Amino acid sequence: MTASGQDLLAAPPEHWAARLAYCQAGQFSEVQRTQRESWRGLAAALQAALHQAGGACWTVLLECDLLRLEKRIDAIILTDRAIFVIEYKHGACGFAPTDMAQAEDYALDLFDFHAASRAHPVIPLLLCSDAPDPANQWPILHGVTPVLKTNPRRLGALLRQIQAELPTPLQPLDAPAWRAAPYKPVPTIIDAARRLFDRHGVEAIASARAGAIDLSRTTEAVRDAIAAARDRGERRVVFVTGVPGAGKTLCGLNLAFGTESATGAAFLTGNAPLVAVLRGALEMDARKRQGRGPRQPRREARTVLQNVHRFLEHHVRHLAEAPAEHVVVFDEAQRAWDADQAGRDTQRRSSVLSLSEPGHMLEIMARVPGWSVIVALIGNGQEINTGEAGLAEWGAVIAASNGVWSASAAPRVLQGREAAQRLANGPVPWLSIHPALDLTLPIRSVHHAACAEWVDAVLTDRPEEARAIAVAGGLPFRLTRDLGQMRQALRSRARGLRRAGLVCSAKAKRLRAEGLGAQLHGADAEVVNWFLRHWPDVRASDALEVCATEYACQGLELDHVGLAWGGDFIRSAGEWQARRFAGTSWQTVHGADTQRHIRNTYRVLMTRARFDTILFVPPGHGEDATRPPAEADEVARYLLRCGVPALEAPLREAEDEAPALLL
């Protein structure tokens, strides 16, 4: 709801509380009495403040819905030179850290994702109705200020003083244009899953830049392929390819939770940490925000999010049983096991599989009556394990089905550098080509579209090309040789509710000498806590104590990443050299597949961040033969040559601070 300051002052607080209640009732939401009292208190506080600050000509937005996970800002005040973001706590006697973080997070979201909020200061205010008068240190800067604390008695004076201190801009803030400007948030995978769990389609989760068009186009192409298979009684594999961070997992989750949920679609993945974290997030959200008990959300989450290995084992053991799902999404399908790996026994269970995982998947889904579709999500260049079959195995089993199965895919599936990355070696009758099935624009990296391209150049020995990309795009990577400096920088960047964390290669065994011996691998409660808890919970990622490996973080993401470079991937004779640590020394890796897996490990780790990545290259130690300084120095020099500036350089000019003013 939007009103001018003059309009807001013209009616009593009860009028505005009633208006807000009416608006919320129109969205079929129950309005509690406590909520109406809170709105009345907020309206009264704003009226007194605007009268004192001379804000009759300002614009006020109440309950501003940003359409980002149903977040609503209690109030936004637009002056000619600033954007005030107000989080109101009715009955609060103090300024809780969680409330401070919430107010700051709203302001950060506006600055990053609202096109008209980047030219003026965005000032978050925490307004607590019963708190004592606070003191604030307020630096004037372009961007988002620290959160300012206030109460209804001090709000008017605070607004007046800030307005007086800010310089008159060359172009005053235009309130109607601000309201009309697009708000395009880029959700995390966890945020997206929560929203999709509430049955909102992917189109309702707006994405920045042209990525929204790319993602919507691909989602529609998959829907069309599913509809055609349903109408014609066909069995089809739909391959969705894309660069790291382009939204493949989001596309798959949308099918499982949204458009194909009526068919009982399932999201299958061998990424156990991804399943554990998403299930945990959905259960926590159902309890906290929806007020539901944990059992039903847990059951729903387990029905939709399934471990692909257990899915296959179950249906191989029960040969007469057809899956309930007509549509399954196979996440990271290029990592499906070949026959040797699928049939290998482990310490926990004896394998019952005799074919490759793609082979078993086609046989199992062919049991579904009438029609069936496998949506195979392909992450190019992200194979990190021995025994991963690649696209070639999918092509072989489709060709061997004697016309039972056909496939749809983008041209990329025929253009892989290596044979394992190609579905076929040329046009084949069972494959139809649809360019829309390729996601080419990354949306994970919020401000920088060329991150994946830069990472590929760095890891494939093209430093000059990498530097050209970095110079043109101002990439969000920084280099440091000091672990303490990296931790300090991550903590300063992770403002509001944004999350920082450390990552490293599982094979970087000598990082323990740097104090980074604790690694996160599995899919138990530890990984759920790491991704979902917040500091001061020491189990959280932003405690910056435990590194997530490529196995724990693939498919997931952090806002700010600290990547600790290991001795498993170094520079030698002008090119990358992959190694394994055995006993007391490093051993050079000669197998092409293993070299590729270690290279891809760093590709995964370097593409986890939404905002920025700090690369920590340890200094080494002259008396430790496993950590020679010369090796580490060579890696650092190469990264600098690729255009990575030292951490001492500011990330954005918008973060430069002016001297603080006492308010």
DSSP sequence for 317-329: H-TTPPPS-SEEE
What's this model's pTM, rounded to 2 decimal places? 0.79
**Sheet arrangement for strand 609-616:** 477-480, 609-616, 558-564, 500-504, 547-548, 519-520
Residue by residue, DSSP assigns 249-271 as: HHHHHHIIIIITGGGT-EEEES-
Token digits of residue 8 = 């807001």
Neighbour-count burial for 427-448, b at 16+ CB within 10 Å, e otherwise = eeebbeebebbbbbbbbbbbbb
Neighbour-count burial for 125-145, b at 16+ CB within 10 Å, e otherwise = bbbbbebeebebebebebbbb
pLDDT score at 575: 95
Structural domains in the chain, sorted by start: 2-184 (no CATH), 189-439 (3.40.50), 451-648 (no CATH)
Asked if 277 contacts 527 with a C-beta cutoff of 8 angstroms, the reply is yes
Asked if 356 contacts 339 with a C-beta cutoff of 8 angstroms, the reply is yes
Map tokens 């235009």 to a residue: 174
pLDDT score at 25: 59
Q: Which helix (H) or strand (E) holds 164?
A: helix 152-165
Q: Summarize pLDDT for 171-223 with one digit per residue, the tens.
A: 999 999 999 887 776 767 777 777 666 544 444 443 433 345 677 889 899 99
CA 285 – CA 35 distance, rounded (Å): 21
CA 148 – CA 221 distance, rounded (Å): 47
pLDDT score at 68: 44
pLDDT score at 444: 73
Find the distance separating the first CA and the last CA of the chain, reported in whole Å.
Answer: 30
**Residue ranges, the chain, pLDDT below 50:** 28, 67-69, 199-211, 649-662
pLDDT score at 466: 96
CA 415 – CA 425 distance, rounded (Å): 8
Asked if 311 contacts 305 with a C-beta cutoff of 8 angstroms, the reply is no
220 burial type by CB count under 10 A (0-12 exposed, 13-18 middle, 19+ buried): middle
Token digits of residue 5 = 């300051």
SS (H, E, C) 609-652: EEEEEEEECCCCCCCCCCCCHHHHHHHHHHHHHCCCCECCCCCC
CA 529 – CA 517 distance, rounded (Å): 19
Vertex 319: Cα angle to 316 and 322 (nearest 5): 100
For strand 660-662 and strand 2-4, is the pairing parallel, antiparallel, or unpaired?
Answer: unpaired
